[in-house]
Chains A and B, each alone.
Chain A
């Protein structure tokens, strides 16, 4: 099956710093989503981005499908950005039927 690798596994920042999280995947995808799992365990949709670039406030994401990677940018980080960031992909192909394959996540800690 498709492999998804996220880096770095852990990231510690001071409030106000910028960061880039990376997601590499091993095959063609029809769907790529970024999620933030907050300290209460909720999975929050950040971006649906199988290709191209999107921005939402301090967050932006870019997916280069031909090179099989996606980047999540967090600018001017805040303590509320802390949590785990997951990349999840849907393998292109007829039998996937919506099965998202998740990366292992990046644990982000933002200190005041």
Chain B
């Protein structure tokens, strides 16, 4: 049971480039989400999904796109990278329900120059 996995671990992009951060889980969790962690600001929710084919915006969605074609995968796309998107990105998953006990992946450290 691998839990929540993320690739890549590190990435450097130039301003304007696009890329996709991958997230996968093998726990059959319905709920998946993406957070970013910036110094002094804690973790903030970018997008989330309550099941395949259903996504919605979180607190800081601008500049990011998501889709959920399978239960296992929830990729995060940066459409045109900006230096303000330099951050550490975490993917999380949980069963859907009242409690949402969540499990986090190891993170992707992204630098945009």
Contacts and interface: CB of A to CB of B under 8 A. Distances in A.
B53 interface: no
Nearest to B101: A48
A103 B42 contact: yes
Contact of B100 (A42, A98, A103): A98
B68 to A, nearest CB: 14
- Give the interface residue-count category, chain A: 20 to 34
B102 interface: yes
A42 B48 contact: no
A99 B42 contact: no
B2 to A, nearest CB: 14
Nearest to B98: A30
Q: Which 3 A-B pairs have the closest CB atoms?
A: A98-B100, A102-B42, A43-B104
A90 B99 contact: yes
